Amino acid sequence: MDKKYCTAIVLAAGSGKRMGTKTHKQYLLIGGKPVLYYSLRAFQDSELIDEIILVTGDGEEEYCRETIVEKCDMTKVSRIIPGGKERYESVWKGLQETKGTGCVFIHDGARPFVDDEMIRRAYACVCEHRACVAGMPAKDTIKVVDKDGVVVDTPDRSRLWIVQTPQVFENELIFRAYEMLISNGITAVTDDAMVVEKMLGFPVRMFEGSYENIKITTPEDLETAEAFLRK
C-alpha cells in the first residue's frame, strides 16, 4: 500500500489563562526549550509526516518563525497562520490550508510528549479506521455530578478513556465534518472527534497514546514535564 500524504496541524493559539503567566504556555521553557518545540520536533523527525501547518495566536506568526521554526530548522513547517478565538476555529483555519488529500494529524502544541511510536500507531489506526484519537484508559473512578456537586452517576471505569491528541482523520472526512460544523454555527464542541461524531455520525476509534502525553495547563504540569524530560 502506498503511504498516504500526512499533514500535521499543530495548534499553538491558546492563551493559557490557567497558567497564570504573561507568557503563553506553549512558549514557556521546559528543558531549556519552548513547550511548542517538542511536538514540532516529533513531527519534523517522523518519516510519516510530510508537512506541518502551525496555527499560532494572531500576531505571533513571526515570533514563532524566527525563534522556533527557523532557529530549530523545522523544514516541514510549510505555513504559519493565525488561529481563531476558539480551538475549533483554529482547526478549521488549519484544515483550509491542507492539500485536501491523505490524512491529517491534529495536535495540541501544549502536549510536548508526542513521539514517533505514537505517530506510527496513529497512522496505522487511521489507515484502517479513517478516524482515530489518542487516549489512555482512565485510572481513577469518574463521577457524574449535577450543578450542585451531587453525584448522579458512576460510569463503568473499564469503558472510560482519557482523550489526548493527536487526533487523526482522513482529510476529506474531517474537512467535511468541520465544514458542516461551521455552516451550522455550532460551537459546543471540545475536540475534533466530537465534530466527526456529531456532524457525520461516523465512528471514531481510540488508539493508545501515553500517560506521559500530558497537556501543559498549570504550573504543576510544567514541573511534571521537567521530571519526564529528566527521566
One-character DSSP codes across 164-181: EEEEEEEHHHHHHHHHHH
Note the pLDDT tens digit of each residue in 102-159: 999 999 999 999 999 999 999 999 999 999 999 999 999 999 999 999 999 999 999 9
Asked if the model's pLDDT at residue 15 lies above 80, the reply is no
The answer to whether 52 touches 76, Cβ cutoff 8 Å, is yes
pLDDT at 16: 58
Q: Is residue 1 part of a domain?
A: no
Instruction: Give the range of the structural domain holding residue 57, as residue numbers without chain letter.
Output: 6-230
Which CATH number goes with the domain that contains 223? 3.90.550.10
- The three cell numbers of residue 68 are 522556533
Asked if the model's pLDDT at residue 22 lies above 80, the reply is no
- pLDDT mean across residues, the chain: 94
Asked if the model's pLDDT at residue 170 lies above 90, the reply is yes
pLDDT at 18: 55
Q: Is residue 13 part of a domain?
A: yes
Note the pLDDT tens digit of each residue in 185-224: 999 999 999 999 999 999 999 999 999 999 999 889 999 9
- pLDDT-derived band of residue 14, with 50, 70 and 90 as boundaries? confident
Q: Is residue 141 part of a domain?
A: yes
- pLDDT-derived band of residue 19, with 50, 70 and 90 as boundaries? low
CA of residue 110 relative to chain centroid, distance: 8
Q: What are phi and psi of 143, to 5 degrees?
A: -110, 140
- pLDDT-derived band of residue 231, with 50, 70 and 90 as boundaries? confident
Asked if the model's pLDDT at residue 68 lies above 90, the reply is yes
- pLDDT-derived band of residue 30, with 50, 70 and 90 as boundaries? very high
Asked if the model's pLDDT at residue 97 lies above 70, the reply is yes
Residue by residue, DSSP assigns 129-151 as: HSEEEEEEE--S---EE-TTS-E
Helix 87-95 and helix 171-183, axial crossing angle in degrees, nearest 10: 130
Asked if the model's pLDDT at residue 83 lies above 70, the reply is yes
Mean pLDDT of 14-20: 60
CA distance 223 to 111: 14
173 sits in the region (left: phi over 0; alpha: psi -120 to 50; else beta) called alpha
- pLDDT-derived band of residue 24, with 50, 70 and 90 as boundaries? confident
The answer to whether 186 touches 99, Cβ cutoff 8 Å, is no
Q: pTM value?
A: 0.94
**Domains in the chain: how many in total?**
1
